[in-house]
A and B are shown apart, each in its own frame.
Chain A
Amino acid sequence: MSAILEVSDISKSFGGIQAVNGASFTLDHPGIYGLIGPNGAGKTTMFDIICGRQVPDAGKVLFHSSRVDGVEPYKLSRQGLARTFQECRVLPEETCLDNVLFAAQSKRMTSEMLQVFTRNTKHRRDAEVEARRLLRLINLEQYADQPASDLSYGQRRLLEIVSCFMSKPRILLLDEPASGINPTLLNTLRDFLVELYEETKIVFLIVEHNMEFIMSLASTIIVMHQGRVLMQGAPEQVQADESVIDAYLG
Chain B
Amino acid sequence: MKLSLSTIVTIVILAFGALAPFIFGGQPYILYVLTLALCYTIPAIGVNILYGYTGLVSLGHMGFAGVGAYTTALLMKDVGLPFVPSLFGGMFAAGFLGFLVGIPCLRLRSHYFIIVTLAVGMILFTLFNNLDGLTGGAEGLPGIPRPGNIEIGSFVLDFRSLTGFYVLTFIIAALTFGLQYILVRSDFGRSLSSLRQDESLAAARGVNVFGHKLAAFVLSTAIAGVGGAMKVLFLRAAAPLSFDMNESINLMMMLILGGAGYLVGPVIGAITFIALPEFLRVAAEMRLIFFGFVLLILARFAPRGICGAAEVAYRKLANKEANVVRYT
Contacts and interface: CB of A to CB of B under 8 A. Distances in A.
Contacts of B185: 119
B187 interface: yes
B53 to A, nearest CB: 11
A116 B197 contact: no
A115 B198 contact: no
A109 B208 contact: yes
Interface in A41-98: 51, 53, 72-74, 77-78, 82-83, 85, 89-95, 98
A116 B190 contact: no
A46 B208 CA distance: 23
A109 B205 contact: no
A102 interface: yes
Interface stretch (B22-30, B71-79, B209-217, B276-284): B209-217
A53 to B, nearest CB: 8
B6 interface: no
B201 A90 contact: yes
Contacts of B289: none
B47 to A, nearest CB: 19
B191 A107 contact: yes
Interface in B135-184: 182-183
Contacts of B186: 112, 115-117, 119
B187 A106 contact: yes
Contact of A91 (B197, B203, B321): B197
B286 to A, nearest CB: 39
Interface in B229-255: none
Given A112-B191, A115-B187, A116-B186, A91 B208 contact: no
B35 interface: no
A178 B197 CA distance: 24
B205 A103 contact: yes
A97 B209 CA distance: 23
B208 A74 contact: yes
Contact of A109 (B183, B188, B201): B188
B200 interface: yes
Given A93-B325, A112-B186, A116-B183, A107 B193 contact: no
Contacts of A103: 205
Interface residues of A, number: 34
B207 to A, nearest CB: 5
A209 B328 CA distance: 39
B317 to A, nearest CB: 20
A95 to B, nearest CB: 8
A107 B206 contact: yes
A5 B321 CA distance: 45
A167 interface: yes
Nearest to A119: B185
A177 B190 CA distance: 26
A115 B211 CA distance: 17
Nearest to B209: A74
Nearest to B190: A102
Contacts of A1: none
Contacts of A77: 203-206
A105 B187 contact: yes
A205 B185 CA distance: 35
Contacts of B315: none
B193 A83 contact: no
A94 B186 CA distance: 14
A38 B303 CA distance: 44
B86 interface: no
A112 B203 contact: no
A204 to B, nearest CB: 16
A113 interface: yes
B221 interface: no
Nearest to B215: A109
A73 B202 CA distance: 9
A95 B325 CA distance: 11
A105 B204 contact: no
A115 B190 CA distance: 12
B261 to A, nearest CB: 9
A118 to B, nearest CB: 8
A98 B185 CA distance: 12
B187 A92 contact: no
27 contacts: A53-B200, A74-B206, A77-B206, A78-B206, A82-B204, A89-B200, A90-B201, A91-B194, A93-B193, A94-B193, A103-B205, A105-B187, A105-B190, A105-B191, A106-B206, A107-B207, A107-B208, A109-B188, A109-B211, A111-B187, A112-B186, A112-B188, A113-B188, A115-B186, A115-B188, A116-B186, A163-B205
Interface of A: 51, 53, 72-74, 77-78, 82-83, 85, 89-95, 98, 102-103, 105-107, 109, 111-113, 115-117, 119, 145, 163, 167
Given A105-B187, A113-B188, 8 more contacts: A72-B203, A83-B204, A89-B200, A92-B197, A94-B197, A105-B190, A109-B208, A111-B187
